[in-house]
Structure 1
């Protein structure tokens, strides 16, 4: 058995996985990684990236650069131009990031799920009663980024960014094993609630959630890095325009983005639990009012507007 094969087997041992990634000094390890990953010493950089490759499916063939100054530089890498074009169909809301699709569906009043049978509330997640009302009975989808993925995230649609609410918290792992064991995990971790307004007036929100080794979120439109040194809750009003596909910021490592949308948005047919999705690919559609059908594919194929 190869080393990667052995690592894969061990990672499936839930008790061991949970112990090694959660029952550790999470905050201290996260601060250490934030410091260590930025060291620009060539030997440390090369050994760190080699170790990362050993423990993951890291693929740098899409990276814009062929060499990196540090581990952090590699984590936050840009891609070659044109690799994540947003779907041009104006009815399509695209994925803001590369990720693995987790729980998704309709919000029952103000209740949604981190996995089947494990509920949490919009109020606990957002901490903003007005935003809770905006997403009452709406739609949600959870997108999990693994450590080896592209970590930058983009605008899912045209609109304006109205406010960011940073909420301090813990740094639990956000993998499926932890989601089964930690109640209301997303509501415990550090997160940024990004409220956007679409041209048609609807509210669409993105909630980047930090995790162990991932307690820094960079937002271009505020020129801020939000992390453990940011004292939350902290509200940052803003008025920034966004175009579908624009880069909004990045995670320092892998984590999760929760997308919250209005109740009349429908999930596209490629949205399946555990499926991989790339930034710019179809995520949801805005059906025309009163229409029985809505376009979901960029080639114009019609699909029923009742699929969830």
Structure 2
């Protein structure tokens, strides 16, 4: 059986070297800095360079076509109506535009990020009570490519009472890196967000994972941006309520969201590795009660 390294093409190896065998932290700080410079001319140049490497960058879908900084382009909003959200209460919709990565059943508490590379849920979610909820449940990895819409939305009616921020590395999260770096998601900067609903036996948790270049997550319901410079508490209390499809936050650059669900959920037909999905499209089917205020 060939090793994962032998299976990589030369192009994949070059990609891996260029994006991971470099001072990732300092490159991330640099890109974070340059992406916030307010200069329409510089922004045009940076977007042109970005388009050389990013496929399918559909800026015509954005609410605005002119940007004052690269960061503003990264976090662009879409025109109204482009992402209709399926509202059936038993349907969990995709929280973001993405390419489906690994997905399927959780084997006990073991999740496979790539062939031969398992990790335990507790290594990604360092909360025993929460991680244990997903024993024998389901998971899906949603990769937001750098060219995609970077905002993410509530996949169900829910409330959020806490965000657990976990500082970490800034490995690239593309498929090449996943084949080479064991337990990559457990090493990167990430946040754990349990979505509370009124059903006593159903649970869904989102784990946004940041990556190289602009390792930054902004949640609309938190005052601070969670990035490599964040010095606040790891467990951040909050009181946020969402209807399905409401915007929760955004990445400053393409990254990944891992969604965990209890074992009373199953995937819709067509959800498989490598398939594209849009925010608001059906992802999981289960027995979910709409969130109600008390």
TM-score for the superposition, normalised by structure 1: 0.87
Other-structure match for 1:304: none
Cα distance between partner residues in 1 of 2:124 and 2:233: 12
Paired residues of 1:210 and 1:216 also in contact (CA < 8 A): yes
Q: Deviations over 1:143-182 (max 9, x none)?
A: 0011000000000000111211000100000011100000
Paired residues of 2:40 and 2:67 also in contact (CA < 8 A): no
Other-structure match for 1:5: none
Cα distance between partner residues in 1 of 2:124 and 2:63: 35
Paired residues of 1:213 and 1:253 also in contact (CA < 8 A): yes
Other-structure match for 1:269: 269
Aligned length: 279
* Greater mean alpha carbon deviation, residues 170-179 or residues 35-44: 35-44
TM-score for the superposition, normalised by structure 2: 0.91
Other-structure match for 1:87: 86
Q: Deviations over 1:259-285 (max 9, x none)?
A: 010111010012111000000000001
What 5-or-longer segments of structure 2 have no aligned partner?
A: 1-8, 289-294
Q: Structure 1 residues 263, 232: closer, same or farther in 2, change over 3 A?
A: farther
Task: Give the drift of 1:233.
Answer: 7.0
Paired residues of 2:215 and 2:228 also in contact (CA < 8 A): yes
Cα distance between partner residues in 2 of 1:79 and 1:194: 24
Q: Is 1:214 paired with 2:214?
A: yes
Cα distance between partner residues in 1 of 2:82 and 2:137: 31
Cα distance between partner residues in 1 of 2:139 and 2:46: 36
- SS of the residue 2:111 aligns to: strand
Q: Is 1:53 paired with 2:47?
A: no
Q: Is 1:36 paired with 2:34?
A: yes
Cα distance between partner residues in 2 of 1:73 and 1:12: 34
- SS of the residue 2:229 aligns to: coil
Which of structure 1's runs of 4+ aligned residues deviate more than 4 A? none
What are the within-5 Å matches in structure 2 for residues 95-106 of structure 1? 95-106=94-105
Cα distance between partner residues in 2 of 1:157 and 1:131: 18
Other-structure match for 1:22: 20
Cα distance between partner residues in 1 of 2:51 and 2:268: 33
Other-structure match for 1:175: 174
- SS of the residue 1:240 aligns to: strand
- SS of the residue 1:21 aligns to: helix
Task: Give the drift of 1:81.
Answer: 0.8
* Greater mean alpha carbon deviation, residues 43-52 or residues 92-101: 43-52
Q: Which has the higher contact order (CA 8 A, sep 6+)?
A: 2
